[in-house]
Structure 1
Amino acid sequence: MFSRLCLAVWFVLHLSGCAVYQQPVDSSKKAYGHTTQLVLPEGVFETVAVESEHDIFTLDDVQKQQFLAFFYAAERQHVPSHKRLYEYLEASIEGFHYRGETYNARHAYHSNEGNCLSLAILTTSLAKLAGLEVEYQKVNAPPVYQRHGDLLTISSHVRTFVYQSDFESPDGSVVLRKPRMVIDYFPQRGNISGGQVTYHDFVSMYYQNLAAEAMVENENHTAYSLLKRAHTISPRNPETLNSLAVLHRRAGYENAALQIYRYAQQHSAGSVNLISNFATLLEKQGDKDGAANLRESIQHIEDDNPYQWLDIGEAHLSKGELRLATKYFSRAVENAPYLHEGHFGLAKAYLSLGKTGHAHKALKKAYELAAFTPEQHLYQAKLSILETRY
């Protein structure tokens, strides 16, 4: 956990692929009045051809025929439509191999591999062929960090719901939700359900991921073109705007990056990554007060991922900023009161503040929640030490 405290040192990008996305709002819509168009500086990057949204979800003819033959087979018509799709995925891509790369539907189907976003794209493609409704949900999981020179990528997780198309509610009954199947590539302990992800944000994730891969390879024109496409699809998506700003800053166009960050402040819901990177740039330019104000504002961002707040809490704790550390650990507890890590973070912050009673209460809660985990023995030992002082 302590190794994550240096996030602000590098340019931080968010990846969606096995790991979803940050905002449950639809970033393609205008929630702040009239949204002016982001004007990017000309002559910095060339625009190159990138994959269309249609192509992302298009399977080849053989792949379509294989699925439709299975889905419409007479012997399977007694199976509800959403379960038929699930069974096809289960049978045809058994042993789907996890890879960090993001693939379109054709590639994921053919190679039987990809990250969780790739599987969600393939699921969406099959659902479209069958006329089934899909939705996407953010899954909060311990993030995966990868450092590539001056870039630090943070992965998150998304899963897909496929709904039964031919469902009819019994007469006189009220049905709150149609039957559905969950397509989740990497379910594991510690995963916490998050907010809904809109279709526009889902598609923008694909381009964001490819852009991040291009940036790692210093293919800046490709990265720029992918991010422009993502921004067109979901104009208020904060992670797209963050990536655009990082791209310009890395290329030496800091004023352009500032312009993008200020646009994002006005026209997006913001994200922890975006505000952190913005603050780092202001600090580099000598605006320490502006950077400090931005870091204070992070606490007001709507993010239901407790692991995000745990990381920020640890970062402030390591720098002795105990008041902020307490706030962020409290946000983690607020979003996931059953995670022992948040209570342990609060215990450490309270103890450093000299609030022994509060620290004891938080540590005791962490101990209770950590049952049958390796951390429980650590908490027990610290409780014993603390109780000799308390």
Structure 2
Amino acid sequence: MRLILLVLMTLVVSGCSYQKLAEQPPAVSIPINHQIFDTTEVSVTSEAELFYLTPSQQSNFFAYFNKEISKGKLKHEAISDYLLKHLTNFSYYGETLAASQALGQEKGNCMSLAILTTALAKLVGVEYGYREVITLPVYKKQNNLILSSIHLQTKLFNPEPSDIVLKSVAGRSGILIDYFPNASNIKSRYLRYPQFIAMYYKNIASDALVEDQLSVAYANAMRAYHFDGGNPEVLNLMAVIHRRAGDEQTAEQIYQTARAIDEDNLSLLSNHITLLNSQQRQEEVLALRKQIDKLDDRNPYSWLEQAYVAHNQGKMRDAERYYKKTLELAPYVNQAYFGLYQVYMSKDQEHRAKATLAQALEWTHDNRERKQLKYKLYGRNIMLKANE
């Protein structure tokens, strides 16, 4: 699951309702100021350590696995059933853990679950794939950073006859491993293995960045760059780390390189704007804001993210515009209504705030949420009438 960064600012993720294997752009050369980061005491988890399970964990798994196979279950079914016994404490808010930690503690986020699933699949020779899922992101503001999460599923493939060769992983049958499946989730792209590994290191780097551990963030971002050096989001992360370390010149060069790969990347544009704002380069800021406004990004959550960034920066006009753009694409996203409500209240526009809550109510089906909305709406209505 996770992590895409927004640095009041932003490092983000994903797109549309297609299910194809993601393209992996070739690595690009970027300037990296190695000298400003001291990694002599930084320990970075290796790829092998990521999927390591202790002898005891392996023994327990094989005891269960062999018993289920003897009953006639297929390999991928046995893994799925085993994982179901350990999913209780996995959640959107969990940590990113290696396989042995995730299994030992029986907790973690969806990235942790994917790593654990991979470790088990590797033990018994089951093929697997990774799929990004577009769902409502989870946001958290900390240390002047906005963390935005995405969701990830692992698919354990059904064994195929040896004479069948499939061109697309999306066409293969199998079992999706997901602690929180939701019918409203939008299926996105399948990741290649190096992209998945890079995502792990991005998560760890982002966590370190929140704690202001810049050398740890840099070391893990370098590993992400090693595995997926043409990914604009990896480059975005590298730029953010350089900027936080005080090297704005290198940060801007990296932004420019990343934007040459993906000139319409919202998080790149947003983070570049943050840097330009800090340098009072307002003409360039205005040009990039105009570029953002012209983008035809059909993912409502991309605009919701921009709304959150603007809102946290106190840019209420921009926040209002992006909340509205979110609702144009997806009128069921209640978080955008709540954001608009807060914007209008900050402007003392109580009637507009009330109208926004009424709109949200039309798209809310959860009984608990409806009660909360009605309380705010009718409570606000009583207050307005008392003042009229």
The verdict on a shared fold, with TM-score over 0.5 as the criterion, is yes
In 2: Cα distance, 1:302 partner to 1:361 partner: 27
In 1: Cα distance, 2:102 partner to 2:84 partner: 14
Aligned to 2:347: none
Aligned to 1:234: 228
Aligned to 2:14: 22
In 2: Cα distance, 1:315 partner to 1:110 partner: 37
In 2: Cα distance, 1:167 partner to 1:79 partner: 17
Deviation at 1:284, TM superposition (A): 1.5
Would you say the 8 A contact 2:22–2:189 is kept in 1? no
Query: 2:188 matched to 1:195?
Result: yes
SS across alignment from 1:78: coil
In 2: Cα distance, 1:307 partner to 1:71 partner: 40
Distance 1:258 1:247, change over 3 A: same
Aligned to 1:59: 53
Would you say the 8 A contact 2:130–2:152 is kept in 1? no
Count residues in correspondence.
Answer: 352
Query: 2:266 matched to 1:272?
Result: yes
Match of 2:83 among 79, 89, 93: 89
Would you say the 8 A contact 1:127–1:134 is kept in 2? no
Would you say the 8 A contact 2:95–2:108 is kept in 1? yes
Would you say the 8 A contact 1:207–1:226 is kept in 2? yes
Deviation at 1:257, TM superposition (A): 0.8
Deviation at 1:362, TM superposition (A): 9.2
Deviation at 1:23, TM superposition (A): 5.6
In 1: Cα distance, 2:122 partner to 2:339 partner: 45
Deviation at 1:167, TM superposition (A): 7.2
Aligned to 2:349: none
The residue type paired with residue 40 of structure 1 is: I
Deviation at 1:74, TM superposition (A): 6.2
Would you say the 8 A contact 1:28–1:233 is kept in 2? no
The residue type paired with residue 79 of structure 2 is: L
SS across alignment from 2:149: strand
Query: 2:131 matched to 1:136?
Result: yes
Aligned to 1:173: none
Give the CA RMSD over aligned residues. 4.0
Would you say the 8 A contact 1:159–1:182 is kept in 2? yes
Deviation at 1:97, TM superposition (A): 5.1
Match runs of 1:175-324 below 5 Å? 177-187=171-181, 192-199=185-192, 200-268=194-262, 271-299=265-293, 305-313=299-307, 319=315, 321=317
Distance 1:164 1:221, change over 3 A: same
Deviation at 1:363, TM superposition (A): 8.5
Report the identity percentage. 30
Deviation at 1:118, TM superposition (A): 0.6
Would you say the 8 A contact 1:309–1:331 is kept in 2? yes
SS across alignment from 2:301: helix
In 1: Cα distance, 2:300 partner to 2:286 partner: 22
SS across alignment from 1:235: coil
Query: 2:329 matched to 1:330?
Result: no
Distance 1:331 1:28, change over 3 A: same
Aligned to 1:3: none
Distance 1:165 1:361, change over 3 A: farther
Once the two structures are overlaid, the 10-residue window that deviates more, 222-231 or 235-244, is 235-244
Deviation at 1:328, TM superposition (A): 5.8
Q: Mind listing any 5+ residue stretches in structure 1 that lack a counterpart? A: 1-6, 15-20, 170-175, 351-358, 384-390
SS across alignment from 1:73: helix
Deviation at 1:59, TM superposition (A): 2.2
Q: Mind listing any 5+ residue stretches in structure 2 that lack a counterpart? A: 1-5, 164-169, 345-352, 382-388
Deviation at 1:122, TM superposition (A): 0.5
TM-score, structure 2 as length reference: 0.74
TM-score, structure 1 as length reference: 0.73
Would you say the 8 A contact 2:357–2:373 is kept in 1? no
Distance 1:54 1:239, change over 3 A: same
The residue type paired with residue 188 of structure 2 is: G
Distance 1:328 1:289, change over 3 A: farther
Match of 1:145 among 133, 140, 163: 140
